[in-house]
Amino acid sequence: MKILVCISSVPDTTSKINFTADKSAFDKNGIQWVINPLDEFALTKAVNLQASQGATVTVLNVGGAENEAVIRKALAMGANDAVRVNVEPKDSFSTAKEIAAVAQNGGYDLILCGKESIDYNGGAVPGMVAQLLNQPFVNASVGLEINGSEATAVREIEGGKETISVKLPAVIAGQKGLVDEKELIIPNMRGIMTARTKPLNVVEPTSSEVKVQSVSFDAVPPRAAVKMVSADNLDELVRLLHEEAKVI
């Protein structure tokens, strides 16, 4: 069984987000990059399947050479090898197209990824990949079992959960719950050292087609100064909520 796990490199959640002076791009200076957390759930599930079913696990990243530290961490977590498509992702479609090209050429039985990345939260790539490959797709999966040529996935729906069976090959987009948080793999020293010798294949993009272009970025307005109101001055509190905050 061959599993392809798509991972993206995203800013650490503690990073301070800034944009360039002309607001045309994200300012990458001083940013700590990590594996997209939802992709970590997918990768951990793949490594579990590697142990239980003898699967081989390939991680795939669309991005520049600066992402290789993140890719090596994924290898240290247990992936067998990695592929990096040497192009900066511009939009969901172009990213999905590169993933689909690698997947089609690699003959993978299962494609796993997070349901979205925590930077742009677009959530469009997994479904696009499935459509381009004409494969079954299950989104927001919180459970996955593989039995021969069939995958049984559990996904959250409004008011409950839904269990779906699909034939492989298929695309499964996971989220928190795909594996238990305590199962998430923290690379040990042996894994880190082994990752240095695992294959990382760099391929060139198959297309330059981009359908969406970002015009400008705006930061979230800074929080206003806090006003302290005495606990026994309810009239002033009501006035501020009505006249200034305009919430009542």
DSSP line for 128-162: HHHHHHT--EEEEEEEEEEETTEEEEEEEETTEEE
Number of domains composing the chain: 1
Average of per-residue pLDDT across 168-187: 95
Q: What is the CA radius of gyration of the chain?
A: 21
Give whole-number Cα distances, 78 to 49, 56, 71, 81, 170, in Å: 11, 10, 11, 9, 22
pLDDT value at position 143?
A: 96
Tokens of 19: 């944009």
Taking the C-alpha atoms of residue 217 and residue 165, their distance in angstroms, rounded to an integer, is 41
233 falls within a domain: no
Would you say residue 56 lies in a domain? yes
CATH number, domain containing residue 185:
3.40.50.620
The verdict on residue 120 lying in a domain is: yes
All residues at 6 or more sequence positions from 232 whose CB lies less than 8 Å from its CB, including other chains? none
Q: What is the mean pLDDT of the chain?
A: 93
Q: Is residue 228 part of a domain?
A: no
189 assigned to some structural domain: yes
- Is residue 16 domain-resident? yes
Share of the chain above pLDDT 90, in %: 72
Place of tokens 């690379």: 187
- Give residue 17's pLDDT band: very low, low, confident or very high (50, 70, 90): confident
Range of the domain at 122: 2-219
Nearest residue to 81 (alpha-carbon basis) of 199, 188, 163 = 199
Contacts 24+ apart (CB under 8 A), 115-121: 115/38, 115/139, 115/140, 115/141, 115/173, 115/174, 115/175, 116/38, 117/8, 117/10, 117/36, 117/38, 117/39, 118/10, 118/13, 118/36, 118/37, 118/38, 119/8, 119/10, 119/11, 119/36
Between 25 and 57, name the one with better pLDDT.
57
Q: Which two tokens stand for residue 65?
A: 């050479």
26 in a structural domain: yes
Residue written as token pair 């939802």:
38
pLDDT score for 19:
85
The pLDDT of residue 153 is 97
pLDDT tens-digit readout, 80-131: 999 999 999 989 999 999 999 999 999 999 999 999 998 888 899 999 999 9
Q: Which of 170, 140, 144, 173 is nearest to 155 (CA)?
A: 140
pLDDT tens, position by position, 190-223: 999 999 999 999 999 998 888 888 888 888 888 8
The answer as to whether 20 is a domain residue is yes
